[in-house]
Chain A
Amino acid sequence: MSESDYIVSFKHFAETAQLIADTRSNSEKAEICAYYLKSLPDSANQKLAVRFFGEGAFAAIEKKRLSIGHKTIAEAACAFLELDYDYVFRACKTATGSSSEAIEKLMEAWPIGIQKRSPELHSLSEIAAFFVHLADIKSKEEKLRELHRLWSTLTPVEIKYAIRVMHQYSLRIGFEEKSILRAIASAFSQPLEDIRYAHMLTGSLEKTLERSGKDTLQEVQFSFFKPLAFMLASPLHTVQITDFSGFICEEKFDGMRCQAHIADGKVELFSRDLNPITESFPELQSFFLNRGLDQLILDGEIIVFKDDEILPFQLLQKRMGVKKPTKALLDEFPVAFIAYDILAEGKELLIKKTLSERKLYLETVSVTHKLPISLSYSVQTLDDVKSRFDIAREHGNEGLMLKRTDSSYEFGQRGNQWIKVKEPAGSLDTVLLYAHAGSGKRGGYYSDFTLGIRANHHKKNEEPYFVPIGKAYGGYTDDELRWLNKEIRGIILDRFGPTLGLKPQIVIELEFEEVQLNKRTKAGYTLRLPRFKAIRHDLSIYDVDNLDDVKKLYEAQLHRKRLKNFVEPFLIFPTA
């Protein structure tokens, strides 16, 4: 094989991906990728490489899909290897925790997997063309035949990454979009900020890369109806700030984050994950248009708003995901949009302006067009924050948002410019059911835990049984984590790859933000942001709370008393 054939080959890509996977430091990962991108001879190859790293077999903006499920691929691999799926493959998959990794290892070790393959080099464009070809095939049998044909010419590591690319999800190499952008910035010696900004607007790694290569990043223009990544807040306990004089505070609504684009007589609403949700909230469309708003991008919160009062998030849930809601639903749970930031007005993108400046723009819009906005107050000390927090709680709001007045809108970032202050909704005594080897903790500790709640009543002579209620990965001290890791060794019932099934024995008092209804779980509820409050050495599994207790907490949340907005107002809701 010639050197240049290898450079543009899928094998080179797969081996680079593996090298990135086997590298711990994020900056080294990005450097490896940048070096690889630079080694490719042209933009066509580079575009395919970033597509495979970050988007899958097809570019994210193409709507093409391969429509081959995980199970189908695994069965195809079993047929190729002449191994039984249920008896052999399933156990291999459980042990590795990854179907594609199990396939890689079997291709490498299992004699038939070795015999049937004689690897040859394929260029990136050949592999891309293969994916197109595969997507066009209708018959499942033929798809499998084609897959077998491809595998018979690949090495195990190529097979693994070809499968991961095909599945249009992360390559599982600890190298997400952020890092790919960092690699592009490094490969083309462009400022990362410019790359991120351009990427947010292009929404395509390939386009971003092409612009970087041609030095035309500045020409990328924003346009309405393409969502911008949201700026996110860090919880107060994760930041070390005592002086709040550079901040303003706003009350944090019990609602749903939303970005509204209004232009040319059209409205589009986007959720936190940048999906359009306009159809679910038709009254907001007419609200914006009726008030004459135009050429705006607003950041704010959707809430259920009835008789001058914000109703709990649980009621908003009845509207979420319901497309084309009925009149009855609209009347029972009417929603409003409260704006707290403005990202664009007219042709101008405002995200580089400071928060104070953006607030001025927003207030002007509010006055002119009677747009509801949240009110902000200045704070200085932690005591100010506390008293504001108490007022917010009396209003029935979740807590506070603290925002630096001199900060720009850092799209897609969770930094210390925005800080959220919330109070735990309650605590429950739960039992440890599973331990998961977590990421981030050192030395092979199990650091994530699934906790269970009792599913039957506390009757005598009845053994308790438990269903999962939440997964917690924090709140314990280092000593407690060490103790837990020692203790769980003696109560292991099962092993599923990185997860241990445990004998119910260790009682944990859990703290959490909120109880949520969740029909897809056995418990019917899940806890939001659960974390350890204490290891209850004093309690046994007979003391663990049961589902009725969870239900009571849920009901209590729902019927919490709320002060109306008139006392110490936290929002302006102008009437038309």
Chain B
Amino acid sequence: MIQFELEHAHGHGIVLPELKIGLDTRFSQHLIQVISHAHADHVPHKTKRPILASPATIDLMIARGFKGDYEKLDFYTPFETDVARITLFPAGHILGSAQIFIESEKGNLLYTGDFKYPASPVSEGCFFPEKPIDIFIAEATFGLPIYKWKPQEFLDKSIVDFAKKHLNNGYTPIFLAYNLGKGQEVMHALAKAEIPMTIHDAGFELCKVYEQYGFHLGNYKKLGDSSHQGRALIIPSNALDSGSVQKISKQKVAYVSGWAALEARRQQMIIDARIPLSDHIDFYELLRVVEQLKPKKTYITHSPNPDMVCYFLQKNGFDAQPLGEHERGEDS
């Protein structure tokens, strides 16, 4: 089996010491650094060698100010080192998000990064290698049996209904959604209903990358550019306090996140609606994926309750154990 260890103290990446590969590692330590996707908690601070990632991930990172060296690696196209083969498979989390598949003489390892199955509609889909998996390292941000996502069509409809209802009543509908990934999912839903949008400036350049890769995001403009009259507003939650948003007198706020499934979020953030649209896999789909892949060994990471997923996997007869600290990504 391939040996691996957690990148302790620095980040929450994974190091394959024998193969000299780092998966979402913060520091290179003379490794080949492979980056699963462009969310900040997966992107390195400093790089000594070019990082390896999908073309869309690289373009998103550059749009967010990444200045290091890189090499773009297409999905399904193996990258050979002297001891290993690295292949990226779409992870369905955000545009460019990849699962990283490593093969070597000692066996193989599939690292999901953040993933979603069924995939986000504004991603390249979610596909797994067809070979039998030895080691499966999966994230379980929502690894509790209380998390079961509603169908995409239902959630898209909630988004559109919220926007239409409040636009009709003369309010500005505001969607609190993360700039990269969730924001574009909301836009994708609103674009289909031909609702014009205003988006947070920091998300604007990222939307251009989505469009380059063929995703239609509809009629939108930057928050900075004048009036929002008759438009839906899409901003990250920390922008709700900004002057340009506060001066909108008639507003209705929807919180779009997997965490919106929890009632407590209503009390914590003054909002008018919770729309539990996540870009992570839910508990039940995760169990199903393991059932489908039948890996020899499964490790659960990025979960507040890794033991729980393992408990159910073990009950289903799988070899599973938690991996590392209880960290959680910036997105959800």
Contacts and interface: CB of A to CB of B under 8 A. Distances in A.
A221 interface: no
B144 A92 contact: yes
Nearest to A443: B240
A109 B284 contact: yes
A174 B271 CA distance: 13
A101 B238 CA distance: 27
Given A95-B304, A96-B263, A88 B145 contact: yes
A110 B283 CA distance: 10
A325 interface: no
A478 B243 CA distance: 13
A437 B146 contact: no
Contact of A21 (B144, B148, B237, B266): B266
A443 B269 contact: yes
B263 A110 contact: no
A105 B241 contact: no
Contact of A109 (B147, B265, B272, B273): B147
Given A22-B274, A443-B237, A444-B268, A91 B144 contact: yes
Contact of A96 (B239, B240, B262): B262
Contact of B264 (A24, A88, A98): A98
Given A91-B305, A495-B304, A442 B269 contact: yes
B45 to A, nearest CB: 14
Contacts of B263: 21, 96, 98, 101, 172
B308 interface: yes
Interface in A19-38: 21-24
B83 interface: no
B269 A95 contact: no
Given A97-B264, A98-B263, A495-B304, A92 B270 contact: no
A439 interface: yes
Interface string A80-122: 0001000110011001111001100110111000000000000
Contact of B146 (A87, A92, A439, A445): A92
Contact of A24 (B237, B238, B271): B271
Interface in A142-190: 172, 174
A442 B144 contact: no
Nearest to A496: B304
A441 B270 CA distance: 7
A464 interface: no
A497 interface: yes
Contacts, number: 94
B203 to A, nearest CB: 16
Interface string A521-542: 0000000000000000000000
A24 B147 contact: no
B311 interface: yes
A105 B146 contact: yes
A444 B269 contact: yes
A332 to B, nearest CB: 46
Interface residues of B, number: 34
A438 interface: yes
Nearest to B263: A101
A105 B269 CA distance: 21
B269 A102 contact: no
Given A109-B284, A443-B240, A96 B264 contact: yes
Contacts of B284: 109
Given A22-B274, A108-B148, A438 B311 contact: no
Nearest to A84: B311
A440 interface: yes
A261 B239 CA distance: 54
B273 A22 contact: yes
B226 interface: no
Interface string B252-289: 00010000011111111111111000000001100000
A424 interface: no
Contacts of A96: 146, 262-264
A444 B270 CA distance: 8
Interface string B117-156: 0000000000000000000000000001111100000000
A444 B240 CA distance: 9
Nearest to B146: A105
Contacts of A426: none
Given A102-B146, A109-B284, A495-B304, A87 B266 contact: no
A97 B262 contact: yes
A109 B146 contact: yes
A498 interface: yes
Nearest to A92: B146
B3 to A, nearest CB: 29
A434 to B, nearest CB: 14
A439 B304 CA distance: 24
Contacts of B241: 442-443, 478, 482
A429 B311 CA distance: 44
A495 B332 CA distance: 15
B212 to A, nearest CB: 31
Nearest to B235: A443
A208 B112 CA distance: 60
A498 B272 contact: no
A442 B304 contact: no
Contacts of A478: 241
A442 B240 contact: yes
A497 B274 contact: no
Contacts of B273: 22
Nearest to B145: A110
Contacts of B272: 23-24
Nearest to A478: B241
Contacts of A95: 144, 146, 262, 304-305
Interface in A436-491: 437-445, 478, 482
A87 B239 CA distance: 38
A106 B268 contact: no
Interface string B220-239: 00000000000000000111
A435 to B, nearest CB: 11
7 contacts: A87-B308, A95-B144, A96-B263, A109-B283, A174-B266, A443-B237, A498-B268
Interface of B: 144-148, 176, 237-241, 255, 261-274, 283-284, 304-305, 308, 311, 326, 328
Interface of A: 21-24, 83, 87-88, 91-92, 95-98, 101-102, 105-106, 108-110, 172, 174, 437-445, 478, 482, 495, 497-498
9 shortest A-B CB distances, which residue pairs? A437-B268, A109-B148, A105-B146, A443-B240, A444-B269, A97-B264, A498-B264, A24-B272, A444-B237
Given A88-B311, A96-B262, A443-B239, 8 more contacts: A91-B305, A95-B262, A95-B305, A109-B148, A437-B268, A439-B268, A443-B176, A498-B268
